[in-house]
Amino acid sequence: MGVGVVLLFMPFLGMSYGMTRQVMLSLMLALIVSGLNLNLGYAGELAMGHIAMYAAGAYTAGLISKAGVTEIWIQLLAGALVALGVGLISGIPGLRLGGWSLAMTSFFLILLVPDILSIFKESTGGRNGLTGIVPPTLFGQLMSEKQYYLLVVVVTIVWFACMRNIVVSRHGTALRVLKQSPVLASSVGISVFRMKLTAYALGSLPAGLAGVLFANLDMYISPEAFTFTVAMTVLAASVFGGSASIYGALIGAAVLQFGMNQATNFQEYGLIITGLFLLSGGVLFSGGIAGLGQNLVRKLDKLARERVGSQLVPAATAEVAPIQGARLMVESISKSFGGNQALSQVSVEAKPGAVTAIIGPNGSGKTTLLNMISGYYSTDEGSIALDTEEIHGLSSYRVARAGVSRTFQTPNIPEKLSVIEAVEAGRYATERVSILQAILRTPKFKRIRREDRLEAERVLNLVGLGEQRDSDADALPLGNRRLLEVARSLIGAPKVILLDEVASGLDEDELDVLADLVNRLRDAGLTVVIVEHNFQLVLRLADEIYVLAQGTVMAHGTPAEIERNPRVMEEYLGVINDADGSNLIGAGND
């Protein structure tokens, strides 16, 4: 904010036009970089088409200006919309195809810009550029240079405020979760495709706005301004300022803009200079040199996040309210990976208000079974239902939204989130709040935001991590990471939770907290499925046990029945002893 105010008054403090022009250019660059950051830094998708969107905004403004629409607000709106259109047209196929396609599509888009302009050279002027743009007006009044400068600053401030509001909302958290892992994202109900498309489409808006502002700056645009070199400059500024950052774009853009200006022969050496920035940015951010700018940016970002988090929240209690569990019915599902039959004809039933344990030696198919239930793999045959609703065949984020949440055998914890934020990620699919509501900070957004915090504190207290709420989530020790996952799986009001070996790596105290929690969840009515190596714990917690061996259910029954089953005891004991020789069995004799 302070920086914004200073920028606003700069021309009135006797700054030369050359200088104001540089500031305006760096703000426009910052807008484009900020759009890229939404993809690269937050969604984790390398998409560089923002130069094409910038061009789209610029040519839209230029052409409608020549047609007599000089009103700058109308131009900004039109430019943003056309850029959004370009984003959607290139983003949908690019993202549908997955993998590196978006990077390729958007790369191609940049190379296409001069050709498209040439094809329509009647109106765009082709390589000679578009001349005859009329000076912009604001509410019918011709804008002075100072007014235009103010407009550029205001547009930038407004966009960065929007960007900040998005990033600190649950959508921002969702983007980081997605960057960490699409599997994790879909496990909390995030549609990977839609989220990536949203980031790409949103990122096109500031690029389009920058294009409009650029077109009205010199009243002349040509394909020169939208080349591959410029795209590299944007990428370098993003990396230099920190891609996963709100305000890094401003710093990265300023450094590159003023840096380029110092270089006399920029036309010739632009790419080399950009490359140097890219490299030095890379070094700074791999943690080699603690860059001053980087620390400043981190502080600013952190401040923005804390502001939102520090709303008054009443102290949360660690209570488990009654839960409406659902009956999970898995009927004769099979799955093979190539020639390896991981599951064959497996049927499992898990009832509400009961703990169903799945045990078996390593490689017997326990995790695969959970992955099938969560919708990560399609089944070769069989059915999976939640009460009467068939969930088999749904994509994983839909299974999550239907009420199945889970933890991962290897905890999946997003980077650069605090513990409480990582847990809140699990609320993504509960009562929805749109990005527009997040940008405008509507009362509904604020209410849900408060509820997210309150719920996160409640479940953190449930798993005994209340004190760690502000620590870095990815810095937690293994036991705590598992408990964090349990908290995340509980926060979205699930009907069924699937816990994959959550007890391994926990110390005695943590085990007690976990066992007590599982009991309380069962008593509250939740359907709890645990995959567990610790036989003692299973006997203590389970109402029903399924024993898997080589992808088939070799036995199932109550703990007492399983303990009395000589075949299970023998085989299980044998295999477990082979595997790690630990004291996992014989608990019944204690």
- Per CB under 6 A, residues contacting ligand ADP are 337, 340, 342, 360, 362-368
37 versus 364: smaller Cβ distance to ligand ADP: 364
Q: Kindly determine how many residues on this chain lie close enough to bind Mg ion according to the rule CB under 5 A.
A: 3
Q: Is 367 in the site for Mg ion (CB under 5 A)?
A: yes
366 versus 482: smaller Cβ distance to ligand ADP: 366
Residue that has been written with the tokens 């190539």 in this structure: 338
- DSSP 8-state class, residue 130: B
Q: Is 364 in the site for Mg ion (CB under 5 A)?
A: no
By C-alpha distance, which of 3, 47, 42, 44 is closest to 26?
A: 3
Burial 462-475 (b: 16+ CB within 10 A, else e): bbbbbebbeeebbe
Query: What SS3 state is found at 207?
Result: helix
Distance from chain centroid for Cα 10: 37
- DSSP 8-state class, residue 42: I
In the region spanning residues 402 to 431, those forming contacts with Mg ion, defined by CB under 5 A, are 409
Q: Is 371 in the site for Mg ion (CB under 5 A)?
A: no
Tell me, what amino acid is at 64? I
504 versus 536: smaller Cβ distance to ligand ADP: 504
How far apart, in whole angstroms, are the C-alpha atoms of residue 444 and residue 437? 8
Contact criterion met (CB below 8 Å) for 244 and 38? no
211 versus 365: smaller Cβ distance to ligand ADP: 365
Q: How near is the Cβ of 368 to ligand ADP at its closest, in Å?
A: 3
Q: How near is the Cβ of 484 to Mg ion at its closest, in Å?
A: 19
Give 301-354 as a 3 state SS string. Answer: HHHHHHHHHCCCCCCCCCCCCCCCCCCEEEEEEEEEECCEEEEEEEEEEECCCE
294 versus 368: smaller Cβ distance to ligand ADP: 368
Q: How near is the Cβ of 414 to ligand ADP at its closest, in Å?
A: 22
Helix, strand and coil percent figures for the chain, each rounded to 5: 60, 10, 25
Q: How near is the Cβ of 368 to Mg ion at its closest, in Å?
A: 8
By C-alpha distance, which of 8, 73, 6, 39 is closest to 213?
A: 73
367 versus 461: smaller Cβ distance to Mg ion: 367
First to last CA, the chain: 66
Residue 365 contact, options ligand ADP, Mg ion, none, Cβ 5-8 Å cut-off depending on partner type:
ligand ADP
Tell me, what amino acid is at 334? S
336 versus 583: smaller Cβ distance to ligand ADP: 336
Q: How near is the Cβ of 355 to ligand ADP at its closest, in Å?
A: 18
Kindly indicate which of the ranges 12-20, 361-369, 457-465, 542-550 contains the residues binding Mg ion, using the contact rule CB under 5 A. Answer: 361-369
Q: How near is the Cβ of 548 to ligand ADP at its closest, in Å?
A: 6
Residue 589 contact, options Mg ion, ligand ADP, none, Cβ 5-8 Å cut-off depending on partner type:
none
Q: How near is the Cβ of 357 to ligand ADP at its closest, in Å?
A: 13
Residues of the shown chain interacting with Mg ion in the complex, contacts defined by CB under 5 A: 366-367, 409
